[in-house]
Amino acid sequence: MQSNNIKNSEIIKFYKKNQTQRLDIVRSFANLNDLEIQKLKQFNSLNFTCANRMIENVISIMPLPLGIATNFKINNIDYLIPMAIEEPSVIAAASSAAKIARKSGGFIASSTESLMIGQIQLTNVKDLSFAINQIEKNKKEILNQVNQCDSILISLNGGAKAIKYRIINTKKQTMLIIHLIVDVKDAMGANIVNTMVEKISPFLEKLTNSVSILKIISNLPVYRIAKSKAVWKKELISEKIIQRILDSYQLALHDPFRCATHNKGIMNGIDALAIATGNDFRAIEAGAHAFACLTNKYQPLTKYYLDENQNLVGEIEMPITAATIGGITQTHETAKICLKILNVKTSKELAQIMASLGLAQNFAALRALVTDGIQKNHMKLHSKNIAIAAGASEENVDAISNMMCKQNNISISNAKELIENYANK
């Protein structure tokens, strides 16, 4: 098998190729077999039995388009990135940001160990220092008990590693919140962490003479952080645009109304990759936005500044609970294929790709916003949806959407009028 570092994800005009040509490229890039190609080609990788095993009351499935972002080089490895998303422009934008970034070496990414937090809420605590003291004295025993929950995780050097405390004052009482810090390795971690905190809470109640209420994972995993950085050269994007991007970034820094949209653009990329790989994108979203206001002021997840040569440097830092095992990552056929396309070895590597994709997405959105605005391109791509919504048939959808673009009037009413004219021709 070809090793990843000699692969080239810079694929000229991928968007102009047909489905078979695109699949051929992905097949040879990722060494996909005939069955995998067939599954992708047939658009039917989730059958009723499989779906019915995942959730309750299944009646059908809700498919999303799966596309490929090209041009990504992250830590010197080329990646084709699968993205499941319904919004036009997102994949093209990420690919174009990655294309410029690779001219200066691509993305440099890193991530911490996969440490998740399990919370146990102890209420009616009579004596806080006695309670903390008791837990400290029995720490070894506590870690030992919870680590019996998953022998495979322990054999991989994962498992519960530490205990931390938070004291939360409410009107009614002061509560002691125990944080169990668990290295979940390549899993998302909710199952193992929740099992551990539920198991240990009766022991903690007894030790501390308290009543435990909530025992659940925290979706703000501040010890499971991914970072990425890229440089966009001034000669490739212009000094004027760089200045405008920096000005636009200032608005996100100082205004939560803009910052929410700024961060939403980042999550366009991260969520699309999370969905493609069968990851829990709601958990990643929750962590991202909670992290963004950890200082009590909602902040952008990225930052931008100039390097010594006046090039634009972008950085992202955020918690990412990416998994390469567990959940549906290995039971959903498409998720399995997407992980194979990425050829990721660990959840840490997947988190680094997500962070880099989020940064690329953010840069691309800012660049579009400070130049043409996003509507021009976006509406061009969206014009086909509008034509269909207005009643265009498969046969005339392209013609109607082209006419709307030419007239610079992309709307349902115009589409309806054009469809009528078309029919009467």
- Contacts with ligand MEV, residue ranges (CB under 6 A): 87, 261-262, 264-265, 268, 365-366, 369, 374
Nearer to ligand MEV, 116 or 365 (CB): 365
CB 103 → ligand MEV: shortest distance, Å?
Answer: 23
Catalytic residue, chosen from 7, 10, 24, 87, is 87
Q: Is 264 a catalytic residue?
A: yes
Minimum CB separation from ligand MEV for residue 272, in Å? 11
Shortest Å, Cβ 383 to ligand MEV: 17
Nearest CB to ligand MEV, comparing residues 261 and 396: 261
β-pair partners for 319: 225
Q: Closest residue to ligand MEV, Cβ-based?
A: 265
Residue (207 or 366) nearer to ligand MEV, CB? 366
Q: Are 139 and 163 in contact (CB under 8 A)?
A: yes
* Closer by beta carbon to ligand MEV, 50 or else 251: 251
Q: Determine which one of 280, 289, 336, 384 is catalytic.
A: 280
Residue 36: partners with Cβ closer than 8 Å, 6 or more residues away = 27, 337, 340
* Residue closer to ligand MEV, measured from CB, 50 or 253: 253
Active site residue: 199, 234, 264, 416, which one?
Answer: 264
Closest distance to ligand MEV from the beta carbon of 259 (Å): 10
Question: Residue 322 Cβ, how far from ligand MEV at the closest point, in Å?
Answer: 21
CB of 316 vs ligand MEV, minimal distance in Å: 13
Task: Answer yes or no: 87 catalytic.
Answer: yes
Burial class of residue 209, CB neighbours in 10 A (0-12, 13-18, 19+): middle
Cβ atoms within 10 Å of 408's Cβ, excluding its own: 9
**Catalytic residue from among 229, 332, 336, 378:** 378
Q: Which is nearer to ligand MEV, 284 or 365 (CB)?
A: 365
378 included as an active-site residue = yes
Write out the catalytic residue numbers. 87, 264, 280, 378
